Amino acid sequence: MKAFIPTGDPAEPVVLADVPEPTPRPNEALVKVEAFSVNRGETFKLEKPASGDRPGKDIAGLVVQSAADGSGPSGVTRVVGHPMEGGWAEYAAVPTDALAELPDTVSVLQGAALPLAGLTALRLLRAAGPVLGRRILLTGASGGVGHFVTELAAAAGAQVTAVTRNVDRGARLTELGATEIVQNVTAAQGPYDIVLESTGGETLSLALARLARRGTLIWFGQASRTPATLDFFDFFSGPESAVVRHFHYLDADSRLDDDLAALVRLTAEGRLHPEIGRVTDWADTATALTDLRDRRIRGKAVLTLS
């Protein structure tokens, strides 16, 4: 089968190659991939790939071989999947606990845009606790996670201040329910009950300063790729006794398949809207990766297999 493999070359991060079709484990279904999406974090990993790396975590397509242990979807079923690797290919072996069925009302493009960003947003808000009536500051809001967080948090009754330098993205976040858009975290007034921080570097300390006493900052990314520096005494000037919590979307009590199914249901009901910035044939994957890395794509880049 055809699959993308990393090159380690920034100018052409992946190349299309002939590789063996995967042999599913007993708890895995074989999925014929119809669309996959890429995440900016995946572009970082492609800079220094390890031997044998096979990228691809967000896919949608058809189950063509059910799991041998009888778990998961059976027969030819439309699904969205979140394998840990190997999704940028014609076929992927996916654990059945990382699959959810797609109804006809949700396209494969929407499905492929859901997994990593949607799971992160859903689990991030669960980690934040009840948000009804609470003020939330969200940094790095123009990405896929930011759109999902904004829409889900606003629907749950939160007042969301979204930080994005992009005016068009800010307008869209307002449509999704953001109460306020600021182009820099220094323009955010506060205090905020919850800060959801994905940028790192100086932004983290600036966002922390806008947190209310005994508030919570959840650190779920470092898109700036710059370490943050915190000063113990800064907490006394506002966010006294605040909690700074590290977050990893895979460290959760819920199952991937259940959460994927919840995201699919919300999308089917018109309550969640995956943001797709570009749809193109998978032959253009290398170009899409470099554009995403260089921030020329806003929203998800979804590649279709034709």
* 117-127 pLDDT tens trace: 999 999 999 99
Q: Mean pLDDT over all residues of the chain?
A: 94
What is the pTM for the complete model shown? 0.95
Q: What pLDDT digit, counting tens, does each position of 182-198 carry?
A: 999 999 998 999 999 99
Q: Tell me, what's the pLDDT at 201?
A: 95
Whether the per-residue pLDDT at 92 is higher than 80: the answer is yes
Whether the per-residue pLDDT at 269 is higher than 70: the answer is yes
Q: Which two tokens stand for residue 117?
A: 């960003």
Q: Tell me, what's the pLDDT at 240?
A: 95
What's phi and psi for 231, nearest 5 deg? -115, 125
Whether the per-residue pLDDT at 63 is higher than 70: the answer is yes
Whether the per-residue pLDDT at 306 is higher than 70: the answer is no
- Sheet strands (E) in the chain: 2-9, 12-18, 28-38, 58-65, 77-81, 91-95, 99-101, 135-138, 159-163, 180-182, 192-197, 211-219, 243-246, 276-281, 300-304
CB atoms within 10 A of CB 149: 32
What's phi and psi for 265, nearest 5 deg? -60, -45
For the CA atoms of 279, 280, 286, 287, the dihedral, rounded to the nearest 10 degrees, stands at: -80
Q: Tell me, what's the pLDDT at 116?
A: 97
pLDDT cut 70: percent of the chain above it: 99
Q: Which two tokens stand for residue 115?
A: 């997994």
